[in-house]
Chains A and B, each alone.
Chain A
């Protein structure tokens, strides 16, 4: 069982309260109708799929309900930091 710190609840909570939300910091094209097929498919489908440190979204689903972001190592599964939505990823 992982303990994940929710930046809104400001405490560590059990993994089972959370849902994974995919890669973080993806920006939706401001005018989707004006985006090219390549731009739109990149937004929808292309992910960095990093081996190592990965910025990703999680949701404290059975807690405060909020989405937030975290940096997790995809090799070790260690979450080094969590931060609120809208904040820049902390430099490690």
Chain B
């Protein structure tokens, strides 16, 4: 039987870094987009392990499971472990409530941007105020990095996760590489 090989869209790309920030690819993760009303959030929490937050732009992380607010009826669920039966378990928990649950594991890729200059590096293409008082740890927003739609999530004061649509991977890396080298010059 031929072996299936998982290839990241970022394979072979040099990861940007400068004296204050560095970029690294995230390992593969299982991802779902969950749509529905607040009863959906309540139903899926125990099965997933982290409760989808109802407060705008917030996330909830328990262990390897994170639920990220995307909109008033939409959440991104990220499982950084690998449990093949997760989708079936979530569907079982949601059986009695109207909902949409879509596996987007392979639609998206992710990068981690870390270091004391991480926010500044991202601000080369992100127009949100990333000061810790305006964008605290745990805050998440779907937004734009120049022309690419991303999900920006602050996991620690100097650590961001950037989720992007798979085909935008090389573009996102190129934008950050240019910014990293520009910012080291000034």
B113 on interface, CB distance cutoff 8 Å: no
Residues of chain A within 8 A (CB-CB) of B128 are 13-14
B143 on interface, CB distance cutoff 8 Å: yes
* Proximity string of chain A (1-25) to chain B, C-beta cutoff 8 Å, 1 when within and 0 when not: 1000000111101101100000000
Q: Which residues of B contact A (CB under 8 A)?
A: 56-57, 70-72, 74, 127-128, 141-144, 149
Which chain B residue shows the least CB distance to A65?
B71
A65 to B56 CA separation, bound complex (whole angstroms): 13
Contact B74–A63 (Cβ < 8 Å): no
Q: In A56-73, which residues have CB < 8 Å from any B CB?
A: 62-66
A66 to B142 CA separation, bound complex (whole angstroms): 12
A-B residue pairs, 3 tightest by C-beta: A64-B71, A14-B127, A65-B71
Contact A8–B144 (Cβ < 8 Å): no
Instruction: Specify which of A9, A62, A64 is in contact with B144 (CB 8 Å cutoff).
Output: A62
Contact A9–B56 (Cβ < 8 Å): yes
Instruction: Specify which of B56, B57, B143 is in contact with A62 (CB 8 Å cutoff).
Output: B143
Which chain A residue shows the least CB distance to B72?
A8
Which chain B residue shows the least CB distance to A11?
B57
Contacts A13-B143, A65-B71 known; 11 new A-B pairs at CB < 8 A: A1-B127, A8-B71, A9-B57, A10-B56, A11-B56, A11-B57, A14-B128, A14-B144, A62-B149, A64-B71, A66-B71
